[in-house]
Amino acid sequence: MGSGSRGKNRERNGKVLQILKSNRAQFEYDIHALVKAFYPAWELKILTPESVVKDRRVRETAPVMELEFGETAVKFTVHRGLHNVDEDVHVYTWQDTDQVDPAAYKDRFKQFLYTSLQEETGLVLPWGNLTGIRPTKIAMTMMEDGKSEQEVASYLREKHFVSEEKIGLGIEIAKREREILSTLHYENGYSLYVGIPFCPTTCLYCSFTSYPISAWKKRVAEYLSALEREMEAVAQMYKGRILDTVYIGGGTPSSLSAEELDRLLTKLKSTFAFDTVQEFTVEAGRADSITEEKLKVLLKHGVTRISVNPQTMKPETLRLIGRQHTVEQVVDAFLLARKVGFDNINMDIILGLPGETKEDVQATIEAITALSPDALTVHSLAVKKASGLQKWIAENGVTAYNNTEETMAIAAAGARAMNMVPYYLYRQKNMSGNFENVGYSVEGKYGIYNILIMEEKQSIVACGAGSISKRVYPYGRIERSENVKDVALYIQKIDEMIERKRKLLTDS
């Protein structure tokens, strides 16, 4: 089955719209995620009776797939020919009389849909029918409930069709995460995130809240003033709680000047009690924003962990994705950080970037190995709707970017050769190759905050434009509070942002 269009299909920006029609509004997120995993080139819409369809092109597009939920049966129809609705139709059916437990019914439906798509395409997905972003959370929760590794493996294999390789990786990471997080204070503790939504330029693949620092230079002081007010309020709300980790991200925090960084960190250290902080991370990020003066400011204020993120060591790809630095600048920035005194430096790379081959990935790993960082985060490219990459793919074709088991293996082997072990893992929607992001680290240099944000074991209070705070209650209930993304609006509505946090974080 290909991604060609029937007569009534409509194209937009070079991508063919595909419709999956369902007679019931049910499990749309999981259906969308699974079908997209098997057909990543599709622009997929799920049409249900409850859908309010205003787009004429959707109304005029014949479905390539149909789901019909009956009393006890589900019929999944695939119009295999794609050029004629009556041509080469494949029908898959599932009979299930037990619908008492909605969660169990959903699990069985996902098994049916996955095996049907697998038979239709001949593909086997490494993570099976798992559609969530935190697969290691399943393994960790089961082990905390007293399940053995064998029971966890059997569950992932039989219920979710996860490959043996990914089962092994998930269990290994879950065990390590439990050990790393054992010293944290879940009930009376929290972690702090501070967002700096500015970057030198916006990368092709990025969908995060970021603004070009050149256009906002005159208002950075206003932003920091609003941020300081929010931090002061948070410190009062959580007075008496234990602060375990602090993470400054973005955007690119090092897009601030040395003076602005000094102002931010001085306020941060005077506002919060840092005597209990186990990890203080600043995502320095891009080489074209790193200077010796800025690194000395970070070290002076007790930052224990930084990132210098090349994404790739291929010059042509750097230019394509909009990173205005050279490979030489990455090397210089890393060596400068070592010279200044940082002994815990992470580097990020992305696999599946446009035009990159396995030889390019091997060359990037070899260049990073020569630097010997303390941690390596391997991202599998995820295509975000809000990114420039979406448009690039529409113009150049989905086959222009690709991640494979071989490139993932190259990165994993490189990390292990540097005496690193995997310590956290997460997945994203529309990921190249249906793989995952994995953090590797040498012993004792793990990114604790990275685990916390994925495993949702501890409340994380987030300050700054576009940030999201999460309060974790006993027994796993989680509530969130979002700050507005627009920087000008954040500055204008800082009192509202503080009040949102007050409602989330206090019981009054």
For 112-137, the pLDDT digits (tens) are 999 999 999 999 999 999 988 899 99
CA torsion angle 443 449 455 461 (round to 10): 160
Judged against a pLDDT cut of 80, whether residue 193 lies above it is answered with yes
Closest residue by Cα to residue 281 from 220, 344, 335, 339: 344
Judged against a pLDDT cut of 70, whether residue 420 lies above it is answered with yes
Q: Is 41 helix (H, G, I), strand (E, B) or coil?
A: coil
pLDDT at site 13 = 41
Model confidence at 257, pLDDT cuts 50, 70, 90, reads very high
What is the full DSSP assignment across 438-503?
EEEE-TT---HHHHHHHH--S-EEEESTT-EEEEEPGGG-EEEEE--S-HHHHHHTHHHHHHHHHH
pLDDT at site 12 = 42
Using CA atoms, how far residue 25 sits from 20, 62, 65, 315, 459, in Å, is: 12, 18, 15, 47, 33
pLDDT at site 401 = 58
pLDDT at site 53 = 62
pLDDT at site 88 = 76
Closest residue by Cα to residue 304 from 355, 342, 348: 342
Total residues found in the chain within this entry:
508
pLDDT at site 475 = 80
Cα–Cα distance, 107 to 130 (Å, whole number):
10
Model confidence at 8, pLDDT cuts 50, 70, 90, reads very low
280, burial (CB in 10 Å: exposed 0-12, middle 13-18, buried 19+): buried
pLDDT at site 4 = 34
Assigned token pair, 110: 């996902």
* pLDDT tens per residue, range 75-84: 999 986 554 4
Judged against a pLDDT cut of 50, whether residue 7 lies above it is answered with no
pLDDT at site 391 = 63
Q: Tell me what percent of the residues of the chain surpass a pLDDT of 90.
A: 69
Cα–Cα distance, 381 to 349 (Å, whole number):
10
Model confidence at 319, pLDDT cuts 50, 70, 90, reads confident
Residue 431, φ and ψ in degrees, nearest 5: -85, 135
Judged against a pLDDT cut of 70, whether residue 385 lies above it is answered with no
pLDDT at site 54 = 64
444's CB contacts (< 8 A; 6+ apart) are: none
pLDDT at site 161 = 97
Q: Which domains does the chain have, with CATH numbers?
A: 1-123 (no CATH), 184-502 (3.80.30.20)
Question: Once rounded to an integer, what is the mean pLDDT over residues 163-188?
Answer: 95
Closest residue by Cα to residue 293 from 337, 334, 345, 347: 337
Cα–Cα distance, 149 to 176 (Å, whole number):
13
Looking at every residue in the chain, the average pLDDT score rounds to: 88
Closest residue by Cα to residue 129 from 106, 153, 159, 150: 159
pLDDT at site 369 = 98
Judged against a pLDDT cut of 50, whether residue 5 lies above it is answered with no
Assigned token pair, 318: 């750097």
Question: Once rounded to an integer, what is the mean pLDDT over residues 177-189?
Answer: 94
Cα–Cα distance, 248 to 306 (Å, whole number):
10
Of residues 52 and 369, more confidently modeled: 369
Contact 288, 324 (CB under 8 A): yes
Question: Once rounded to an integer, what is the mean pLDDT over residues 334-344?
Answer: 97
301: left (phi over 0), alpha (psi -120 to 50) or beta: alpha
Q: How many CA atoms lie within 13 A of 436 on its CB side?
A: 28
Using CA atoms, how far residue 324 sits from 262, 289, 307, 318, in Å, is: 25, 10, 17, 7
Question: Once rounded to an integer, what is the mean pLDDT over residues 102-118?
Answer: 94
Of residues 39 and 207, more confidently modeled: 39
500's CB contacts (< 8 A; 6+ apart) are: 481, 482, 483
Contact 329, 287 (CB under 8 A): yes
Q: Which residue has the tokens 């920006």?
A: 13
Cα–Cα distance, 235 to 411 (Å, whole number):
40
Highest mean pLDDT out of 44-58, 99-113, 233-247: 233-247
CA torsion angle 458 463 468 474 (round to 10): 20
Cα–Cα distance, 33 to 390 (Å, whole number):
17
pLDDT at site 10 = 45
The pTM (predicted TM-score) of the whole model is 0.89
Contact 219, 254 (CB under 8 A): no
pLDDT at site 390 = 60
CA torsion angle 483 208 394 18 (round to 10): -50
Q: What is the amino acid identity at position 337?
A: A
pLDDT at site 97 = 75
Closest residue by Cα to residue 462 from 482, 479, 491: 482
314, burial (CB in 10 Å: exposed 0-12, middle 13-18, buried 19+): buried
Assigned token pair, 490: 């954040």
* pLDDT tens per residue, range 455-504: 999 999 999 999 999 999 988 799 999 999 999 999 999 999 999 999 99
pLDDT at site 323 = 75
pLDDT at site 89 = 87
